[in-house]
Amino acid sequence: KGDWKAIELATQEPPKKSKSDRALADGGIARRAAMAGGFSDARVLAAMDLFASTFSESSISAKTKGMKAEVETLRTVVKSMQAAAVAAQSEGGGGLFAKKQSKSELAKEIQSLYVKGGNAYNQYCYLLNDGLPISLKKVPFL
């Protein structure tokens, strides 16, 4: 609660590839991957998006479209959470005419984003589990 730095770290993207990365055997992939947040787009949401695509064959299925829509909702939530965490840690205003939000307002925003993200994840799981064969284990909801 109120740990803005942890929220920022959990949602941060890995840095762009640099010249020093090109000199490494793996192109710096392992180093940059370790710098990605635990719930970043690069680490989690890209995988969820790719997994959603596996439910389509020659044409995009309704299941895939629904799952990808939930991933886009999660992307929006993650970006908004990161922006709120950065805003809570900044000292200056939000621009020329922008009013800086108080930490309590940002905390309420984070809480509503958390609920929105949880609902999107649960809907993703519902769509994923719908029609799975009995032999496969269902993905749990939050």
Tens of pLDDT, residue by residue over 52-98, are 999 888 889 999 999 999 999 999 999 999 999 988 888 655 555 56
- State the average pLDDT over residues 128-139: 88
Crossing angle, helix 46-53 and helix 62-89, to 10 degrees? Answer: 170
Q: Which of 39-48, 92-101, 114-123 has the highest mean pLDDT?
A: 114-123
C-alpha dihedral, 110 to 37 to 77 to 102, nearest 10°: 30
- With a cut of 60, say whether residue 112 has pLDDT above it: yes
* Spatial distance between the Cα atoms of 88 and 84, rounded to a whole number of angstroms: 6
- State the average pLDDT over residues 103-132: 93
* Spatial distance between the Cα atoms of 1 and 8, rounded to a whole number of angstroms: 13
- With a cut of 60, say whether residue 49 has pLDDT above it: yes
Token output for 54: 């596996």
- With a cut of 90, say whether residue 118 has pLDDT above it: yes
> Which DSSP state fits 42?
I
pLDDT, residue 65, reads: 95
